[in-house]
Chains A and B, each alone.
Chain A
Amino acid sequence: MNVQSALNTESLLKVEGLSTKIKTPEGVLTVLEDVNLTIEKGEIMAIVGESGSGKSMMINSILQLLPKTLLEAYSGNIEVEGENLFAIGEKKMQEIRGKKISLVAQNAMTSLDPSYRVGKQIVEIMLEKTGLTKEQAKEKALNLLEQMGIDDPKRIFQSYPHQLSGGLRQRVVIAMSLACDPDLIIADEPTSALDPTVQLQVLDLFQTINQQFGTAILMITHDFGVVARIAEKVAVMYAGQIVEKGETADVIFNPTHPYTQSLIKCIPNLDWVFDKGAGKKPLWQIKGEPPNLMNLSQGCRFFNRCHVAKDICQSTNPLLKTVKPYRNEHSVRCVLIGGGNE
């Protein structure tokens, strides 16, 4: 019954039944619907989806960064260590941003202010968010840069963003996200703008951070390769909904939702390149376009593009159902799976 132990059992981040609605000139748009996910301390989770699936809206909802002019309403719950973000008010929210949850920006090129040296930008965040003195902040920033695998932290500290390579900039942004020792960092497609070799280095860096600092990571990506390499859990998003969720191994080796199956089939492998025989099949493609969120019809949102769709899919709204209840949860949003509709 003591408060301390009660707090310790809380999940780091718990999103329950979250729906986010935004205002557009054409009307109100539900960009996220019924999103549930939990991240425990020290965990690495990935969210996979195409652009427009609501991944970025997820970040903006969790950090409450949607401008008032755009936001129509939230419903559901977002809890950080048991505290409901919708109830705590803007002042407390400011405390959470950066200190509890921080962001690794998608495009490091444009996410650093071109007019200041990068070191100064890291220090600026520390000075405002923590009680460190200027000297302490500078020392910590230099340490962070070094821990990011940067050989010459002093020189990088004194550099302007445009003087750095893409990989270095991304490391700087990651260092920045760690400036106030957050419990969770949300990484928004952190490798998509980088060269393949650098991508791997940066992914490894995230793993190192996770192990060294115990920081939980929510990795937003469209690349199952990234998921396979670092995430323990994965959620697949489609058109503002989570369509499949589970342990990474379960989802990758046993993809259950037709959309997930298609996504994994879309990954080209080398067999395809070298198999010049008659058996060469064209690369798997998902036909069609994601639905327009503005005028959704009843039924499954993936219906039009699904390779196994049946009539029932068009009439029934699928719910997220557990397909593998024992040990590790694995759930899917598809009426054809799990037998619940029989």
Chain B
Amino acid sequence: MTTKWKQSCKAFLSDKMATTGAIVILFSLILAVFASWIAPYNPNVVAEGSTRLMPPGTEGHILGTDQQGRDILSRVIFGTQTSLISAVIPVIIAAIISVVLGVIAGYYQGFIGNLIMRTMDIFFAFPAVLLAIAIAAILGPGLLNVIIAMVIVRIPYMTRVVYTDTLQESQKEYVEAAKAFGIGDIEIMFKQILPNVLPSLIVYSTTLAGVTIVTVAGLSFIGLGVQPPTADWGRMASDGKKVLMQGYAFVTFIPGIAILILSFSFSMIGDGLRNALDPYERSKAKEKKKISRKTSQHIA
């Protein structure tokens, strides 16, 4: 078991993109936690001596100032907080709920399984972003409501992943054996099956966290989520639209890049984890090995 973990760690670390992604996330976590110390200015107040729309590169304001004259760098640093919270927390909550639903549905199948999965099917009929917008809009603005909306929207996808894996695992010998030994259903489900289902859920959750950053940014772009003057990347982009029309693109451009970097990092970690946790994918990931496999095909 430990060697397996070691191997996975090694495989992950040998993936440059994934490691870079992990470093970026770690770095943004530090930014978020220590924002008040790191940020050069108060993000919500116009600093003394600043004027509005100072271009990036201006002394004292590396990323410039926004339409009100607030320091963009400071706002980007503080924006890391809401972005990380709204990406990670809903995914974790949704993952926990999905594990319960998915494992139960996959293990029992039959009526319970059908009931759970058919209910999930209904949610697949809604484009995720729109359902999230509708829920968040009806619940009213605020970070908490966005998190609730994202949890609801993510559950069907994650449940489906857990469900298909559990279904496969349930048919394996070790489950039959456990049943024959008279081990209880709950123990089989959550002590025997769950550990085998978890890796793919972790991979999927990481990728989803990246997607969620973009979705949440979209929600705050249309005015849901954190309310002003709290710094938030989606809202920064949206507020920048007016001055964008006058030609000042950087006010919108910079928070967008921040969203892109964070989201991209999560999806790179997701890819890296997938390769690291799956021995087959691991060998496939290495182009080198791929070629030699092709070669052996030709020889054989």
Contacts and interface: CB of A to CB of B under 8 A. Distances in A.
- Can you list the 8 inter-chain pairs with the closest CB atoms, starting with the nearest? A25-B288, A51-B300, A24-B295, A25-B291, A25-B292, A52-B299, A24-B292, A31-B299
Contacts of A60: 298
A56 B295 CA distance: 11
B191 interface: no
A56 B291 contact: no
Interface string A50-62: 0110101100100
A31 B292 CA distance: 14
A54 B299 CA distance: 6
Which range contains the number of B residues in contact with the other chain?
under 10
Contacts of B294: 70
Interface string B259-300: 000000000000000000000000000001001101100111
A51 B296 CA distance: 10
Interface in A34-58: 51-52, 54, 56-57
B295 A70 contact: yes
Nearest to A69: B291
B292 A52 contact: no
B contact patch SS: helix
A120 to B, nearest CB: 27
6 contacts: A24-B291, A24-B292, A25-B288, A31-B299, A54-B299, A60-B298
Sorting the interface of chain A by its residue count into under 10, 10 to 19, 20 to 34 or 35 or more gives 10 to 19
Contacts, number: 25
B288 A56 contact: no
A190 B71 CA distance: 74
A25 B299 CA distance: 15
A26 interface: yes
A51 B295 CA distance: 13
A24 B298 CA distance: 11
A29 B291 CA distance: 13
Kindly name the residue among A22, A25, A31, A52 whose own CB sees the greatest number of chain B CB atoms within 10 A. Answer: A25
B291 to A, nearest CB: 5
Contacts of A24: 291-292, 295
Contacts of A319: none
Contacts of B288: 25
Interface of B: 288, 291-292, 294-295, 298-300
A18 to B, nearest CB: 16
Interface in A169-213: none
A66 B298 contact: yes
A272 B65 CA distance: 91
A52 B296 CA distance: 8
Nearest to A22: B295
A56 B300 contact: yes
Interface in A311-330: none
Interface in A153-179: none
A70 B300 contact: no
Nearest to A71: B298
A57 B298 contact: yes
A314 B288 CA distance: 33
B298 A22 contact: yes
Nearest to B294: A70
A67 to B, nearest CB: 9
B299 A57 contact: yes
Contacts of B300: 51-52, 56
Interface string A68-92: 0010000000000000000000000
B298 to A, nearest CB: 6
Interface string A1-36: 000000000000000000000101110010100000
A107 B15 CA distance: 37
B246 to A, nearest CB: 53
A26 B299 CA distance: 15
A54 B291 CA distance: 18
A31 B300 CA distance: 11
Contacts of A26: 292
Contacts of B299: 31, 52, 54, 56-57
A59 to B, nearest CB: 10
A10 B167 CA distance: 64
Contacts of A66: 298
Contacts of A22: 295, 298
Contacts of A31: 299
Contacts of A54: 299
B87 to A, nearest CB: 39
B14 to A, nearest CB: 16
Nearest to B289: A25
Given A22-B295, A56-B299, A70-B298, 9 more contacts: A22-B298, A24-B292, A25-B288, A25-B292, A26-B292, A31-B299, A54-B299, A56-B300, A57-B298
Contacts of B295: 22, 24, 29, 70
A31 B299 CA distance: 7
Contacts of A56: 298-300
A70 B295 CA distance: 8
Nearest to B297: A56
A157 B300 CA distance: 32
B296 to A, nearest CB: 8
A293 to B, nearest CB: 8
Interface string A251-272: 0000000000000000000000
